[in-house]
């Protein structure tokens, strides 16, 4: 059985890094991720660069990477200005994003949920007219850093609004890594009343160590697409305390052992992890990367 991995390291992973990562290193990271067999890579963000300075070089990154016809690159887009920049950089897929909780939406994109819908609807309409594919994210679908518990109905409503705008897939985000497997089953169990599992993805952060357990629960209820980040990099600058995404190395290792096919060569993926760890100059959280590097040290 196949599982699709959406690699979000170059975007979700790097957006929270305080020290600027060079454009050349970002390009090399993406090329290495692609050479490991990943077919979907979120390369950067076309948000307001004042909000996320680390990704201000999105255009240059997309200019520098090696494009391949069987790999889809994508980037976050919050508004029409972002769409124009994404289009000019050659992207054929974009990702819209908003939150299921009011306060996180306000802090992250400076608008209420109600005011966000028409903006994203217009972006989706334009992008679809241009022949682009549009993905959607629902952040704080399992909990909000400011409001705590988020009613399932909020996540369900935002998911349905995004689907109605024409997104092909909604990624359900546990932005601050509070979800547990039981909750994952409950939330996804409600959402699939309106949408098939093929149009949903799981986006888990591992702040409290439940990331892979949540993937396993989501697999049980039928999800087959997961976002993850090389090395376990990541976080959200507008979600205090949010740790990294689940690590792609750990995800691939687990899926391999569960007989799911990902098409990813773990050895090459580990080389990409070692590369970005060296660039950042600190140990990353991926357990499989740590184990691999420790084993290669004693060999």
Binding characters for ligand HMG, 77-106, by CB under 6 A (x = yes): -xx-xx--x-----------x---------
Q: What distance lies between CA 73 and its chain's CA centroid?
A: 12
Question: Mask of contacts with ligand HMG, 46-75, x by CB under 6 A?
Answer: xxxx-xx-----------------------
Quote the least distance from Cβ 29 to ligand HMG, whole Å. Answer: 17
Chain residue at closest Cβ approach to Mg ion: 12
Q: In this structure, is the dihedral angle defined by the CA atoms of residues 15, 18, 22 and 25, taken in order, positive or negative? A: negative
Interhelix angle for 152-165 vs 181-191, to 10°? 50
Site string for ligand HMG, 217-236 (x = CB under 6 A): -------------------x
Sign for the CA dihedral angle at 65, 68, 69, 72 comes to negative
From the list ligand HMG, Mg ion, none, pick the one residue 45 interacts with, judged by a Cβ distance below 5 to 8 Å according to partner type.
ligand HMG
Sign of CA dihedral 216, 270, 64, 9: positive
Partner whose binding site includes residue 253, from Mg ion, ligand HMG, none (CB under 5 to 8 Å by kind): none
Is residue 236 part of the annotated active site? The answer reads yes
Q: Which of residues 256-295 bind ligand HMG (CB under 6 A)?
A: none
User: Contact region for ligand HMG (CB under 6 A) — 31-39, 63-71, 108-116, 216-224?
Assistant: 108-116
Write out the binding residues for ligand HMG, residues 119-178 only, by CB under 6 A: 137, 139, 173, 175
Catalytic residue from among 212, 217, 236, 276: 236
DSSP labels for 60-116? HHHHHS---TT-EEEEE--SHHHHHHHHHTT-SEEEEEEESSHHHHHHHHSS-HHHH
The 3-state secondary structure of 135-193, one letter per residue? EEEEECCCCECCCECCCHHHHHHHHHHHHHHCCCEEEEEECCCCCCHHHHHHHHHHHCC
Beta carbon nearer to Mg ion, 73 or 204:
204
Catalytic residue list: 236
Give me the residues that bind ligand HMG (CB under 6 A), please. 12, 15, 45-49, 51-52, 76, 78-79, 81-82, 85, 97, 108-110, 137, 139, 173, 175, 203, 236, 238
């Amino acid at each position: 059985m196949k599982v699709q991995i959406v690699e979000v390291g170059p975007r979700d992973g790097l957006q929270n890094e305080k020290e600027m990562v060079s454009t050349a290193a970002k390009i090399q990271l993406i090329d290495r991720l692609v050479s490991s067999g990943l077919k979907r890579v979120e390369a950067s963000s076309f948000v307001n660069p004042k909000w996320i300075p680390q990704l201000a070089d999105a255009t240059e990154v997309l200019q520098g990477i090696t494009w391949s016809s069987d790999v889809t690159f994508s980037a976050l887009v919050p508004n029409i200005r972002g769409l124009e920049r994404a289009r000019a950089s050659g992207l054929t897929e974009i990702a819209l994003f908003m939150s299921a909780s009011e306060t996180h939406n306000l802090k992250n994109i400076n608008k209420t949920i109600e005011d966000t819908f028409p903006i994203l609807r217009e972006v989706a309409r334009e992008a679809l007219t241009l022949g682009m594919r549009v993905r959607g994210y629902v952040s704080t679908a399992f909990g909000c850093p400011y409001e705590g518990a988020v009613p399932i109905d909020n996540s369900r409503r935002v998911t349905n609004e995004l689907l109605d705008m024409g997104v092909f897939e909604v990624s359900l985000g546990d932005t601050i890594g509070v979800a547990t497997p039981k909750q994952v089953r409950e939330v996804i169990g409600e959402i699939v009343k309106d949408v098939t599992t093929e149009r949903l993805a799981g986006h888990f952060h591992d702040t409290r160590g439940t990331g892979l357990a949540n993937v396993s629960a989501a697999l049980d209820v039928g999800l087959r697409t997961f976002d993850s980040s090389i090395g376990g990099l990541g976080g959200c600058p507008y979600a205090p305390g949010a740790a990294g995404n689940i690590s792609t190395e750990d995800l691939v290792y687990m899926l391999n052992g569960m007989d799911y096919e990902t098409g990813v060569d773990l050895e090459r993926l580990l080389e990409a992890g070692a590369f970005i760890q060296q660039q950042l100059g600190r140990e990353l959280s991926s357990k499989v990367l740590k184990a691999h590097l420790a084993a290669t040290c004693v060999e």
